[in-house]
A and B are shown apart, each in its own frame.
Chain A
Amino acid sequence: MDKSFAFLKTNNQPNRILSRALGKLLDKGLVSAVMAPGITNGSDLPMPVLFTRDEAMESCIPLAPAAGVSAAVQAARIGRKVKDKRVAVVLKPCEVRGVIELAKLNQTSLESLAIISMECPGRMENDAYLAKLSASPDLPDLYLNDSSLQDQASSTCLSCDAFEPQGADITIHLFGLPVMEHIGISGMTAIGNELIEAMDLEKPGAAYDQREAMARLREKRGRAKEELFQKTGEILKNPDQYLEVLGNCLGCFNCRTACPLCYCRECVCARESFDRDLDDVSNRAKKTGQARMPAGLSMFHMTRMVHMSHACVGCGQCSSYCPSKIPVADLFRTMGQQVQNTLDYSPGRDPEEPIPYLRFKTEAGS
């Protein structure tokens, strides 16, 4: 499909130019704030930054190939609090899905958010990004145009075929475009179109055929995903492999902290009844002569899967956070897909789609 979209001339600086275009939204008062990846004093790691003044947008890196945290949680925070104002939030597609899922859980409202998302080339792990950045300060721009750099993305992103945003008001088109000359921008909703109007973009010119680039990427990542799920599926099913991989778990709960979907104020697994008491551990020890402490970590991971695997948006933050380098996201996504397929549910697909466990109302006999 030929997409006709407006162009933004990038002059070899897509991030800077896009920042300025976003700044216009602030300048013209169309949004009261913009939340987008950016850097603040003292750190080069892109984090969600709340911009309220046009001129501050110079430190914004909207297409940053790294994300210190999932911006979904921060966007949700804004959506929950802000009423009668509009805030533009720049999110990766997985983060958009996260915000939509959080909205279903009443943790945010989409009303006041104008969601801007992009065809996502993926993000690098934080340490890899910082290491690369010190040698190549233009990394955020170069990354967009260099597939060998993109191949250094996190393993989650390399196996993610949900790189096109769903549910955004504005989509930024990158794939198949000469991004150092211009990028494409299109409004997906009435609000999106209204905002684009204010960005003073070029009139649609020659349409780019993105199909080939998209298909290539989808094929590549799709294949990687299948391989990963295959491999991870085996790990989950095979006790030896499972214990080898998860045996390194420290029980630090970082994965839970990183997860944009884990919305509980305080994780149930960190409390009372989930604590394996010593009797339990010693009983186990009596049988085999030894028992690992802390215990109950399978229970922890499985509980998190029970609670959230249907909603896993595949952002990969849990893996990034893991001090033991356990591929938590691989495990979670693999399981997530199986559960989602069974329940015919796709997280973030549609804000109106009820959480699968609440579908009992429409079932026969109720």
Chain B
Amino acid sequence: MEQTTQQTDLVKTEQTDFDKEFHPNIVALVCNWCTYTAADLAGVTRLKYPAEIRMIRLMCTGMIDPRFIVESFLRGADGVFIGGCHPGDCHYINGNLKARLRIGGLKALLQGMGIEPQRLALHWIGASEGTEFQKQVKDFVEGIRELGPSGFGVYDSI
């Protein structure tokens, strides 16, 4: 028992640097057709991307109710990453373009409430763009890490 505690302590000391690093809560909303396929491709080609993202697969970015995003931030998300098909590639014809407009409006709104615009990202990532997925997610998570915790959750106290 004692030994275990010691070991834990040891591990703790070793991990201090890691713990010091901020691990953001990130929600990734990805479309079933393109970006999810790209994520899958990144996975099978063993491209490493940050473990902080919590990926939610949706049929289309056009079905993203801005409420999902608002609620994510209110409940403590530090960033929301959205990935959809390139314009013209959308399985549902133009759902991604609808998303683009909604996210545009929402971004202005969130910015008005003190959420840095970098915390909400929309990227077009095609099915064969595993490397692009990796790059965008990495950059996004790094950006959030630099920004630090969002602190927007306090708005939810009323």
Measured CB to CB, the residues of A under 8 A from B are: 233, 236-239, 242-243, 246-247, 249, 284, 291-292, 295-299, 302-303, 305-306, 309-310, 334-335, 338-339, 341-343, 356-357, 359-361, 363-366
Contact = CB atoms under 8 A, between A and B. Distances in A.
B47 to A, nearest CB: 27
A339 B106 CA distance: 8
Please list the 4 inter-chain residue pairs (A to B) with the smallest Cβ-Cβ separation, ordered nearest first: A365-B87, A237-B114, A342-B108, A360-B97
Interface residues of B, number: 31
Given A236-B113, A360-B100, 15 more contacts: A237-B112, A242-B113, A243-B158, A249-B158, A296-B156, A302-B109, A303-B67, A303-B70, A306-B70, A334-B112, A335-B109, A339-B109, A357-B105, A363-B97, A366-B97
A365 B105 contact: no
Contacts of B151: 239
Contact of A338 (B111, B155, B158): B111
Nearest to B88: A365
Given A306-B67, A343-B104, A292 B158 contact: yes
Interface centre among A233, A239, A341 (most CB of B within 10 A): A239
Summarize B's interface: helix, strand, loop or mixed.
helix
B114 A236 contact: yes
A233 B112 contact: yes
Contacts of B100: 360, 363
B94 A360 contact: yes
A299 B70 contact: yes
B89 to A, nearest CB: 8
Contacts of A296: 156
B98 interface: yes
Interface string B86-106: 111000011001101110111
Contact of A357 (B70, B101, B114, B155): B101
A249 B157 CA distance: 12
A291 B156 CA distance: 10
A299 B156 contact: yes
A43 to B, nearest CB: 35
B107 interface: yes
B157 A365 contact: no
A360 B94 CA distance: 7
